């Protein structure tokens, strides 16, 4: 990112996380511009990160190598159409909008290299993970630029097919909520077993963090880690057997299929 100039269209939560991550990695404030209709939003992001902000998107994207669109999916069509006359040839468009595919963006923006990303909310604490898909027009250097941008808030993984973004949405896009649900359920169960609510919550949260750290730093997969902590006839085995007798894996598969299906359905609606 040494000299890349980036213009953000939309300066809300996701843009603020990305800008914060980039600044923390040493990207200069002068390399970043942001456009947002909200005067307060502009003042906040400018004060926090020292970047120049604009109400007019044409001014913001002038001379930018990368135009990163971080607006709500519902306004993507209007935003893309308003950018179209001002885009310069070869400018890379990066979109983080859920459910808006490259074909729709190309229809609204004209032919430009596009990288479509699906980040997730832990990006707000720089622990996100994103799936990235690039159209054929994206150069190797632009892939690198997009990857560095998204890596500023976590891990960035390339996909070969755009359709795989529906699966990414199901696994990691919506994924934080599944873990929150498990945290809620384990905390409630701990309370039923006699623990004070705060103790049950802290035990659950630290266990989630510890398990994630172990799994990330281990050279064996999660199944093997689970086997290693499950002694025959022990307490863990009693719980795992109970989960599996109630069809835990099938339940998870069904839930993720529902999310992927809904992602494809929303793309269909929003892309028109
Ligand atoms: N937050 C996440 O963790 C997350 C995760 C995955 C994907 N995403 C994607 O990231 C995108 C942004 O989400 P967000 O949470 O950052 O939303 P957000 O906080 O609402 O930010 C969007 C910003 O864009 C502004 N905006 C609206 N119209 C605009 C225009 N014509 N030109 C420039 N800016 C405009 C909005 O201003 P007003 O409020 O005044 O309209 C708002 O400040 C969404 O498409 C979402 O799907 C977010």
Q: C-alpha distances in angstroms, 233 versus 107, 226, 229, 239, 241?
A: 60, 14, 12, 10, 10
The answer to whether the beta carbons of residues 3 and 144 sit under 8 Å apart is no
Q: In a mutational test of the pocket of ligand 1, which residue from 8, 9, 10, 38 has the highest number of ligand atoms less than 8 Å from its CB?
A: 10
Distance between Cα 201 and ligand 1 center (Å): 31
151 and 250, same structural domain?
no
Whether residue 44 is contained in a domain is answered as: yes
Whether residue 103 is contained in a domain is answered as: yes
124 and 231, same structural domain?
no
15 and 89, same structural domain?
yes
184 and 161, same structural domain?
no
CB neighbour class for 219 (10 Å; exposed up to 12, middle 13-18, buried from 19): exposed
122 and 234, same structural domain?
no
Give the global pTM.
Answer: 0.92
Total domains in the fold of the chain: 2
Q: Which residues line ligand 1 (CB under 6 A)?
A: 9-15, 35-38, 41, 57, 70-73, 75, 79, 96-98, 119-121, 123-124
The residue nearest atom 36 of ligand 1, judged by CA position, is 10
Question: pLDDT averaged over consecutive 10-residue blocks of the chain (272 residues)?
Answer: 90 94 92 97 96 96 96 95 95 94 95 96 93 97 95 96 95 97 98 98 98 96 95 95 97 97 89 78
Residues 222-263: tens digit of each pLDDT: 999 999 999 999 999 999 999 999 999 999 999 999 999 999
CB neighbour class for 252 (10 Å; exposed up to 12, middle 13-18, buried from 19): exposed
- Domain containing 121: what range? 6-167
- Residue ending a domain, choose from 116, 140, 167: 167
- Residue ending a domain, choose from 167, 191, 209: 167
Whether residue 238 is contained in a domain is answered as: yes
The answer to whether the beta carbons of residues 97 and 131 sit under 8 Å apart is no
Atom of ligand 1 nearest to the CA of 38: 40
The answer to whether the beta carbons of residues 133 and 102 sit under 8 Å apart is yes
């Amino acid at each position: 990112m040494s000299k890349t100039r980036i213009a953000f269209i939309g300066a809300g939560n996701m843009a603020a996380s990305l800008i914060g991550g980039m600044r923390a990695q040493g990207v200069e404030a002068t390399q970043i511009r942001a456009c947002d209709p909200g005067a307060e939003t502009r003042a906040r992001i400018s004060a926090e990160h020292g970047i120049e902000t604009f109400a007019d998107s044409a001014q913001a994207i002038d001379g930018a190598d990368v135009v990163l669109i971080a607006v709500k999916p519902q306004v993507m069509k209007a935003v893309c159409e308003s950018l179209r006359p001002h885009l310069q040839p070869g400018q890379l468009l990066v979109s983080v909008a859920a459910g808006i595919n490259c074909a729709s963006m190309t229809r609204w923006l004209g032919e430009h290299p596009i990288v479509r990303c699906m980040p997730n909310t832990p990006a707000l604490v720089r622990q996100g993970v994103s799936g990235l898909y690039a159209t054929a027009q994206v150069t190797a250097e632009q892939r690198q630029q997009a990857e560095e941008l998204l890596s500023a808030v976590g891990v960035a993984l390339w996909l070969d097919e755009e359709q795989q973004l529906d699966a990414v949405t199901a696994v990691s896009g919506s994924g934080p909520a599944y873990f929150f649900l498990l945290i809620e359920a384990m905390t409630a169960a701990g309370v039923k077993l006699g623990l004070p609510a705060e103790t049950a919550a802290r035990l659950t949260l630290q266990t989630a963090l510890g398990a994630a750290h172990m799994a990330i730093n281990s050279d064996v997969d999660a199944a093997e880690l689970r086997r290693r902590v499950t002694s025959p006839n022990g307490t863990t085995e009693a719980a795992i057997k109970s989960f599996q007798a109630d069809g835990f894996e099938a339940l998870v598969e069904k839930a993720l299929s529902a999310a992927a299906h809904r992602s494809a359905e929303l793309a269909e609606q929003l892309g028109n």
